[in-house]
Structure 1
Amino acid sequence: MNDATSRQTFSPETLDALFEAVDTDDIVDPVVSLPNPVPMACTSQTMRACLDLCLQFWREGAVRSDMIGLTNTLLQKGDLSGKERVRYKHIRARYKHLRFALVLYGQRHKAPFLFRCTVAVMGHLQDAFRNHQSRTTAAYALLLRVLLSWPVWLAVQREMETVKMDSEQGFLTFRQAEFQRLAEWLESGTLTAHRFHTIRKIISRQVSFYDTMRTLAPNEQLYRMSRFLSAINGLMGSMHDELVEQAGRGQRDYRRDDVLMPMNIRSRLDELIAQFG
């Protein structure tokens, strides 16, 4: 990644606009339509600006001391207050948004190991305390506390400096391959909860891209892409929460039992795939 002296920095207003976009990236807008054609172009300069914005968004909003405080509360009480849950959600959203950016724009299309582990543990921890699983909450809270320790935190900062940007063509090829995988999975006719979640991650990555793009260069096409994808993301997110709860109660095997894709999600996915194809 470009070094700290050459990174772009963005105004508080730009960061606030990105926060607003990210905070509504699972809100279902029933009337928004997909632009035709979908905006696909992205220069290497824009890719770098997107990644710089996502990195600043994470560093300025995912405050380590806040996260440690929330983790300590979970270790002591096993749950968070309503206000604390909102703070946890917002910090996790910044982590997730940067993870999507690292996967999208990085040459390896994979977030660095320690950062990736931190985001995963935060997600498992949230599922655990939401579903009142006290032992699982304690275990993941303890693991997150280790990942937030000073040596690991410094290592995560260093990981950010090792990320190499992909080319314009590599970025486009990666996105096209993701939608090809999505089409193949839907055509197979069988989905597990785990595969359903993997499909949602593809959509979430695209939401994050268009959220960042419309923050940097607001226009109607980018806004419509963002809102169309957000509708899919929101519908899939609500359903996935139910699948996780069912798995937690022993009502389904998360990785084995089939899941029926609802038509209100499937029709939107089919429309999206047709445009990307």
Structure 2
Amino acid sequence: MPFQPDIPYASENLITTLFNNIMVDDDIDLNATYPYQANTACNQEELEECYRITWQLLARRSRLQEFRRILMKIALRRKALFKEQEFYKEIRAQFKHMRFGCSNFDRRHIYPWQLHFITCQMGFLQDAFRNGQRFKTFRKALLLWGALHPLLFRQTLKRLAAFKPATPENFKNFQKNELKKIIDVLNFDQKVTGHQFHSLRKIISRRTAYVDTLRVIRPNKELDALSIFLATINGLMGDMHDELILRHITGDSNYNKEQFPLPDIINVRLKALIEAEQLSENL
């Protein structure tokens, strides 16, 4: 039987819990530590349920008509007001979480190009209005307004419904390969470019998104604590990436070429994550 993303229908309470989780997925708590009792292994049913609730969050909470109205206002004004930025952040978080859901839970670990295009343009537009790039704000807002036409959005949801569930073993191997990419950087104290740093951050973001979804369907305090630890790394890396983007826009650095070492405040937490994951693997 084909996977059905809307059956069973998740309660509004579960959808709201997931939404609340992803809205704090980059909150920083410098006192957070890795909870060694946390169990992140999951079975086939849980993997499919994680994807299902992620799909339903996007399908039921995207508020497409209202979002497109705001995009047109941003385009015509060539800037985003504070309330519009807050609303924009909420919708963008749902699209990003859906893309993480495809990467994590689909056995191909890929996402439809339509979803990727929309999510990337959302990031470009956010950078534009945050940094006062008025013409780019106008252009990207109009582009997104068109890309989110209801007919196109329905097609995107249809593509997302063609989900091929990962098996627990497939998912475990995917996470091990992701962790190895971080280890390769830390083991050799490599310097990274802005683009490479962003790729590392996306690994952490995917891991955070997974835990934030798993703790909705399997609530416990250990997963909550792990979410706080991962969100701290995610937030620290996100703040640094914002600075890299700003420096690139102002011409103070080259995002794709200039290299730098990972700051200690991030480096030490990535090492703690690796050590904890490796210990868990050996138990």
Q: Distance in 1 between matches of 2:234 and 2:117?
A: 22
Question: What is the 5 A alignment of 1:64-213?
Answer: 64-188=64-188, 189-213=190-214
Question: Hey, what's the Cα distance between the residues in 2 that align with 1:62 and 1:4?
Answer: 16
SS at match of 2:214: helix
Correspondence for 2:40 = 40
**Mapped partners of 1:243, 1:43: distance in 2:** 39
Q: After TM superposition, give the deviation of residue 4 of structure 1 in Å.
A: 4.9
Match of 2:277 in 1: 276
1:218 shift after superposition: 1.3
**Alpha-carbon distance change, 4 to 184 in structure 1, aligned in 2, over 3 angstroms:** closer
Q: CA deviation at 1:111?
A: 1.0
Q: 1:133 to 1:205 in 2, by over 3 A?
A: same
Per-residue CA distance 1:134-163 (angstroms, 9 max, x = gap):
121122112212211233222212211222
Between the aligned partners of 1:185 and 1:136, the Cα distance in structure 2 is 34
1: distance between equivalents of 2:61 and 2:31? 32
> 2-side partners of 1:212 and 1:142: how far apart?
32
Q: Is the 8 A contact 1:115 1:156 kept in 2?
A: yes
Q: Provide the rounded CA distance (Å) in 1 between the counterparts of 2:109 and 2:259.
A: 29
> How far off is 1:73 after superposition?
1.0
Paired letter, 1:114:
Q
Shift of 1:37: 5.2
Question: Which residue number corresponds to residue 243 of structure 1?
Answer: 244
- Tell me the TM-score normalised to structure 2 length: 0.93
Question: 1 CA distance for matches of 2:8 and 2:237?
Answer: 34
Q: 1:98 to 1:71 in 2, by over 3 A?
A: same
User: What is the Cα deviation at residue 8 of structure 1?
Assistant: 2.4
* 1:213–1:4 distance in 2 versus 1, CA, 3 Å: closer
The residue identity in structure 2 corresponding to 1:128 is A
> In structure 1, how many angstroms separate the alpha carbons of the residues matched to 2:161 and 2:212?
24
User: Quick check: 10-19 or 210-219, which moved more?
Assistant: 10-19
Question: Match of 1:136, as an amino acid?
Answer: K
Q: Post-superposition shift, 1:108?
A: 1.3
Gaps of 5+ in 1: none
CA distance in 1, matches of 2:31, 2:221: 15
1:29 alignment partner in structure 2: 29
Question: Which region of structure 1 is more displaced relative to structure 2, 257-266 or 7-16?
Answer: 7-16
Structure 1 stretch 120-129 or stretch 256-265: which is displaced more? 256-265
For the pair 1:224 / 2:241, whether they are aligned, the reply is no
2-side partners of 1:99 and 1:218: how far apart? 23
Alpha-carbon distance between aligned partners in 1 of 2:222 and 2:48, rounded to the nearest angstrom: 21
TM (norm. structure 1) is 0.95
1:38 shift after superposition: 4.7
8 Å Cα contact 2:5-2:56 kept in structure 1: no
- Structure 2 gaps of 5+ residues are 279-283
In structure 1, what is the Cα distance between the partners aligned to 2:133 and 2:275?
A: 41
Give the Cα–Cα distance (whole angstroms) in 2 for the partners of residues 32 and 3 of structure 1.
37
- Asked if the contact 1:38–1:276 (Cα under 8 Å) also holds between the matched residues in 2, the reply is no
Q: Secondary structure at the match of 1:108?
A: coil
Structure 1 stretches of 4+ moved >3 Å? none
Deviates more, 1:77-86 or 1:151-160: 151-160
The letter of the residue matching 2:203 is I
Identical-pair percentage: 30
What letter corresponds to residue 251 of structure 1 in structure 2?
A: D
1:156-193 per-position Cα deviation (integer Å, ceiling 9, x unaligned): 12211222111111011001100001111233411111
1:53 aligns to 2:53 (yes or no): yes
CA-atom RMSD in angstroms: 1.4
Partner of 1:252: 253
Match of 2:16 in 1: 16
